[in-house]
């Protein structure tokens, strides 16, 4: 790109393309798996979904000595690798009998059906607010690492390793509880871990003047653990609300969740990341809102034809 407007246009196209991978990836899980196995595979997908934005600043810090264009060359190579793997390894999973017409009217009708479901809306908002409680720290990483922790650009791992570790452990826990706990029980377990982490985080933030390592970041990892337990289960609950529209379902739930995350990262994080206590209070508030959305969604009527909980 030779001009800023060209750069922004290509970045927009990049975002549109990248969004398809996570949407299709989650939809095809329910095409191939059911019950506990679907829960295990979804936990792995969510682990990667959570790890990617946490790894990005670390990789960016490592690429910084080669200049900012190195980041985009890295993404080009990664995209080519994914294209090759998808073409050679990934089969078609959606049965022909369940495919929907690729027509704007049919697509909008499907989205409208989902949006009319109060349960779907509440669960999608719950997933978005839960992840925002962690993502507010991820989006504030430059301030947290460079100012609050006093580290350098090459030390972003000081924040992200605990977060990634918590998410990996949470995804492992989801796989272990598959078939032993219902989806609702698993979500409650996730919220329990989130509330313990948030309480620890608030106690430290309000009782000290700054953030120390590692104790200042370990609670964030515990919040990430709880989020990683709840998120894949919420996603499966939403996918089962409309079994014949899993692609559109996955797309819409991702849109709602990312809309919440984007607002938090773009509007809320810059307002509160100057203060350790303000970050902790905001993170706790976001999880509290997510929990209220979860409670509201539990008591709404499901769509006709919805499958039972995994």
Domain boundaries, the chain: 19-89+104-298
Sorting pLDDT into bands at 50, 70 and 90, what band is 82?
confident
CB 178 within 8 A of CB 39: yes
Q: Which two three-digit tokens encode residue 126? A: 């719950």
In this prediction the pTM is 0.77
Instruction: Summarize the confidence of residues 152-165 as an average pLDDT.
Output: 82
Q: Which residues of 163-175 are buried (b: 16+ CB within 10 A; e: fewer)?
A: bbbbbbbbbbbbb
**What Rg value do the Cα atoms of the chain yield, rounded?**
20
Distance CA 121, CA 100 (A): 22
- CA-CA distances (angstroms) from residue 34 to 113, 154, 240, 247? 23, 43, 10, 16
Q: What is the pLDDT of residues 211-250, one digit of tens each?
A: 888 888 999 999 999 998 998 889 888 888 877 677 777 7
Rounded Cα–Cα distance for residues 294 and 62 (Å) = 39
The Cα 249–Cα 59 span in angstroms is: 32
| DSSP 3-state of 181 | strand
Query: Does CATH number 1.20.1250.20 belong to domain 19-89+104-298?
Result: yes
pLDDT tens digits along 95-117: 676 666 666 776 777 778 788 88
Residue 126's pLDDT band, with cuts at 50, 70 and 90, is very high
pLDDT at 47 over 80: no
Total residue count of the chain as it appears in this document: 310
Per-residue pLDDT at 310: 41
More confident residue, 49 or 146: 146
CA angle 174/178/179 to nearest 5° reads 160
């Amino acid at each position: 790109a030779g001009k800023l407007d060209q750069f922004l246009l290509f970045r927009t196209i990049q975002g549109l393309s990248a969004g398809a991978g996570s949407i299709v990836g989650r939809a095809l899980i329910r095409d191939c798996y059911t019950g506990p196995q679907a829960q295990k595979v979804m936990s792995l997908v969510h682990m990667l979904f959570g790890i990617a934005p946490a790894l990005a600043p670390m990789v960016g810090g490592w690429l910084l000595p080669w200049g900012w264009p190195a980041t985009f060359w890295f993404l080009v190579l990664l995209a080519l690798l994914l294209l090759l793997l998808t073409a050679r390894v990934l089969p078609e999973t959606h049965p022909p009998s369940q495919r929907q017409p690729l027509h704007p009217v049919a697509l909008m009708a499907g989205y409208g059906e989902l949006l009319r479901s109060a349960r779907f809306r509440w669960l999608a908002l719950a997933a978005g607010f839960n992840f925002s409680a962690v993502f507010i720290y991820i989006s504030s990483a430059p301030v947290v690492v460079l100012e609050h922790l006093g580290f350098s650009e090459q030390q972003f791992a000081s924040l992200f390793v605990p977060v990634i570790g918590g998410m990996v452990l949470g995804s492992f826990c989801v796989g272990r509880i598959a078939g032993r706990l219902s989806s609702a029980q698993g979500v409650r377990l996730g919220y329990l871990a989130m509330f313990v982490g948030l309480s620890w985080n608030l106690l430290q933030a309000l009782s000290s003047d700054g953030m120390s390592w590692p104790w200042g970041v370990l609670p964030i990892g515990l919040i990430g653990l709880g989020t990683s337990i709840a998120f894949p289960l919420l996603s499966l609950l939403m996918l089962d609300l409309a079994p014949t529209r899993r692609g559109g379902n996955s797309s819409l739930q991702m849109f709602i969740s990312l809309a919440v995350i984007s607002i938090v990262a773009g509007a809320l994080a810059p307002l509160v990341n100057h203060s350790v206590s303000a970050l902790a209070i905001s993170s706790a508030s976001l999880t509290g809102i997510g929990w209220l959305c979860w409670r509201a969604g539990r008591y709404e009527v499901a769509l006709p034809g919805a499958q039972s909980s995994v």
